[in-house]
Amino acid sequence: MIRSPNQGKRGRNALDTPTLLPSAALAAIAPRFSQAQTGTIRIGVLNDQSGPYRDGPTGVICAKQALLDFGASARGFNVEVLSADHQNKPDVGASIARQWIDQQGVDVIADVPTSSVGLAVSTVCREKNRIMLNSGTGTSDLTGPQCSPNTIHWTYDTYMLGKSTGGSIVKEGGSVRRVSKQSDDASVPCCSHQTRFNSRCQQGSDRLPTM
């Protein structure tokens, strides 16, 4: 598991992460194409395009713009961007990931909001030895029990939410009741609850966090 040096910093422009991901994807798989720059590098942008976290068209547009900014063609890379809607369903996300890799030769799967889907896709990428560039899955399990050498955790996670935000609130004498509402990730509250509990214990608080 590789964590971004910017992980935990949420004040960046909303377009920064999807813009950077394709460049990171090329950097990650470039050695495979360094000897003979033939064939096509395929990046699959897998996200919610119809549900509560939908940002699909924007993410795909930013991915294509990033390739232009990076100058992929001028550097000798032929890159194709695919996209699909995982519908916030782990089985759908995993199925798309397998189809992309097995039938369409996808090298990298990027974005993947919703932790349940992210964990499923990360497992597929590990099995198939492909790269997952995560910028939407918040669960800290990606850097914990389900850590994978094939997954790059690009942005925030539940540990950061609990440790920084929850810890700061507790230090100021406030309640952590509000923290679980600060993330859009569907599985964050349950994961973040335990993280906040651990944070509170480390600070010597005798009050249990509440959801």
Report the alpha-carbon distance of residue 146 to residue 123 in Å, rounded: 8
| pLDDT by 10s per residue, the chain, length 211 | 544 444 444 333 334 444 455 555 555 555 554 444 458 999 999 999 999 988 757 888 989 999 999 999 899 999 999 999 999 999 999 999 999 999 999 999 999 999 999 999 999 999 999 999 998 899 999 989 999 999 999 888 888 888 888 888 888 887 655 544 444 555 454 444 444 444 444 444 444 344 3
Report the alpha-carbon distance of residue 180 to residue 162 in Å, rounded: 9
- 76-to-12, 40, 69, 80 alpha-carbon distances in Å: 30, 10, 14, 13
The single residue listed with the structure tokens 């949420």 is 10
What would the pLDDT profile of 105-117 be if each residue is shown by its tens digit? 999 999 999 999 9
Domain boundaries defined on the chain: 2-156, 159-202
Q: Does CATH place domain 2-156 in 3.40.50.2300?
A: yes
Q: Do residues 163 and 132 touch, judged by C-beta distance below 8 A? A: no
**Structure letter (DSSP) for residue 82:** E
